[in-house]
Structure 1
Amino acid sequence: MNDKIDNSPVSNGKALFWLVVTTVLWGGSFVFNKIGFREIPPVMFLFLRFLLATIVMGLICIPRLRQVNLEIIKKGGLLGMALAAANLSFVIGVNGTTVTRAGFLNNLFVLIVPLLCFIIWRDKVDRLTFAGIFLAAFGIGGLASGGGFSHGDLYSTICALFIAIHIIAVSRLLRSGDVYLVTLSQFATVTAIGGILTVILPEQPFHIGPVSAGALLYCAIFPTVICFTLQNTFQRYTTPTRAGLIYTLDPVWSMLGGFVLLGERLNTREWLGCGLIFGAVAVPLLVKLSIERRAVGHYRSQTSE
């Protein structure tokens, strides 16, 4: 159990910095989605976002396109369906609640991943995770008592489930193959699903002005294409526990963005609910990180004797 990869070309500090940058960009997506929805309906915004992301990723992948095969398309298609479900519930959730509440509810995926692994594969779930789930339930209750539990809150919680499903699917399906091409296939799948839904759903008026166009461009480039690149480049140079702990910063940035750019405010019970959810996710990871460090220290002391 190494706290970093031996002979790694990237230091822990550099990996930490870029993964934190990733959380900042992800947190910003909550705010810019909310801003974009003022002029563009959520599902159409989703379609246009991934259409742009597919074009950009396609340009990046031009030297690799000859390597596309049925396996890559199949993997990308399966992952894309999970990603589409996560993003569809995300846009509906953000549209129906505050970005602060959506950010903390989305972050529940950290607890849902091990729970799903237990349900599907009977993987062992430690007591810390169960304690976190128990604490998160109180946090959701705090949010509900502080301002009700809207359909947006419900979809933001459902989004956490689909994020967890997507993460598990990635870990199972991306053990081989070109990550960039699979990602391109993922983005194209989400674009196709978003396009179909845009056609099927009742037509809604929309207008793409300078502000919504900027929000759309941000969401297509930064939390989609760039975050993918940063995550896949630097996450491998740290432990899963550290990475998970870094990703708990997502709702912090979305909360700050909501405060500064959207004027959102929380009442006392909402603060309590968000704090409990944050603690439910972060505290088990902090304890696990402490255990990892002690184990590494013990291993090094044994090998140095």
Structure 2
Amino acid sequence: MKKTIIADLALLSVAFIWGITFVIVQNAIETLPPHTFNALRFFMAAVLLFIIIALFFKEQLRMFSKKMFISGFILGIWLFGGYALQTIGLLHTTSSKAGFITALSVALIPLFSFLFLKQKLQWPAIAGVVAATIGLYFLTLGDSLSLNKGDFLVFLCAICFALQIIFTGIYAPHYPAISLAFVQILTVALLSAGGAFFFENWQAALTPTRLFQPQIIWALLITVGPATVFAFLAQTICQKFTTPTRVALIYAMEPVFAALASFFWTDDVLGYKALGGCLLIFIGMILSELRPEQPFVKKTIKQ
């Protein structure tokens, strides 16, 4: 019981960290361009994770293979798409809305599993997709007939995250989890660096006057360690000591934490229709994880 409580608290801290990073990253990309920031974040995370593997999981170093790198690279492409679109989208929308729209990835998983893996759609998953879709309408449109550019980019980000989770379910059983995560993170770093090189003025961004600003240092400290490396290690270790039901409910709190952080740090207040949309998306997330024969079964985790 004690290990279960500790595991649940650790996973809840991951959900909290992921939630508050929306505001933290939004503040950081006011100074650093999105691809440049992601390149720094994921290069630093890849180095830190490799050090941890070398020190504590040495046996996994012998398990690196060409097939694992290819699988990790494919997963990394989807992960890059998710983080790139999310970070760019934060330039044009609020962190609270971005948190709930990103959470749509959970509701989309059963739909994409049906389309790509021919898995049967069950009624809770269908109800979850419908609820989340209606919620997305109220959150992003309301009385307006135009879709905010940032909301649309974050919606595409949710699609990428959902596909990354589906492909993780295909590849993950064949390789060590932490080593596969390292390849994914390194892939995101390399692709982000390519995006910065071709589309951003990275030379001007990577100057001491910009890099050593408090919001950049703070953002990198949070996103590199707690939000990336610690989060993955916590998932890998803690899910052995808790149940899929509890994991599903714990991670459903991520967009709630994002909305609370946005309210307290930026005074972002959602209207009644937007709040109703958030609630419907939250319900859609929970419904998508229900199974008639076994409630609240969690397939996998987004990140």
Q: Calculate the TM-score normalised by the size of structure 2.
A: 0.87
Match for residue 142 of structure 2 among 135, 140, 145: 145
Q: Which segment is superposed worse, 21-30 or 273-282?
A: 273-282
Q: CA deviation at 1:35?
A: 1.3
Cα gap change, 1:58 to 1:264, in 2 (>3 Å): same
Q: CA deviation at 1:214?
A: 1.2
Q: Which 5+ residue runs of structure 1 have no aligned equivalent? A: 1-8, 295-305
Q: CA deviation at 1:284?
A: 5.2
Q: CA deviation at 1:288?
A: 4.4
Give the letter for the 2:169 counterpart.
S
The answer as to whether partners of 1:241 and 1:288 remain within 8 angstroms in 2 is no
Q: Does 1:45 align with 2:37?
A: yes
> Matched residues in 2 for 1:17 and 1:218: separation?
18
Q: CA deviation at 1:11?
A: 4.1
Give the letter for the 2:149 counterpart.
H
Q: CA deviation at 1:175?
A: 0.7
1:70-91 deviation digits (Å, cap 9, x = unpaired): 2332222122112111111111
The answer as to whether partners of 1:100 and 1:255 remain within 8 angstroms in 2 is yes
> Matched residues in 2 for 1:201 and 1:11: separation?
47
Alignment of 1:148-159 (within 5 A): 149-159=147-157
The residue aligned with 2:8 is 16
Q: Which segment is superposed worse, 137-146 or 110-119?
A: 137-146
Match for residue 269 of structure 2 among 265, 272, 277: 265
Q: CA deviation at 1:177?
A: 2.3
Q: Which 5+ residue runs of structure 2 have no aligned equivalent? A: 297-303
> Matched residues in 2 for 1:119 and 1:18: separation?
34
Alignment of 1:124-273 (within 5 A): 124-143=120-139, 144-145=141-142, 149-203=147-201, 205-206=204-205, 207-208=210-211, 209-273=213-277
Match for residue 292 of structure 1 among 291, 294, 299: 294
**How many residues are paired up?**
284
* Local SS of the residue matching 1:96: coil
Match for residue 120 of structure 1 among 116, 121, 137: 116
Q: CA deviation at 1:10?
A: 7.0
The answer as to whether partners of 1:81 and 1:189 remain within 8 angstroms in 2 is yes
The answer as to whether partners of 2:41 and 2:220 remain within 8 angstroms in 1 is yes
The answer as to whether partners of 1:32 and 1:216 remain within 8 angstroms in 2 is no
Cα gap change, 1:16 to 1:184, in 2 (>3 Å): same
The answer as to whether partners of 2:101 and 2:155 remain within 8 angstroms in 1 is yes
> Matched residues in 2 for 1:211 and 1:141: separation?
33
Cα gap change, 1:149 to 1:73, in 2 (>3 Å): same
> Matched residues in 1 for 2:265 and 2:77: separation?
32
> Matched residues in 2 for 1:52 and 1:181: separation?
16
Cα gap change, 1:211 to 1:128, in 2 (>3 Å): same
* Local SS of the residue matching 2:249: helix
Q: CA deviation at 1:121?
A: 2.0
Q: CA deviation at 1:264?
A: 0.9
1:138-197 deviation digits (Å, cap 9, x = unpaired): 112212116653111111111111111111111111113222222111111111101111
* Local SS of the residue matching 2:174: coil
Match for residue 90 of structure 1 among 59, 69, 86: 86
> Matched residues in 2 for 1:284 and 1:47: separation?
33
Q: Which segment is superposed worse, 271-280 or 31-40?
A: 271-280
The residue aligned with 1:300 is none
Match for residue 31 of structure 1 among 23, 26, 34: 23
> Matched residues in 2 for 1:178 and 1:54: separation?
16
**Alignment RMSD, CA only?**
2.2
Q: CA deviation at 1:124?
A: 1.1
> Matched residues in 1 for 2:19 and 2:143: separation?
23
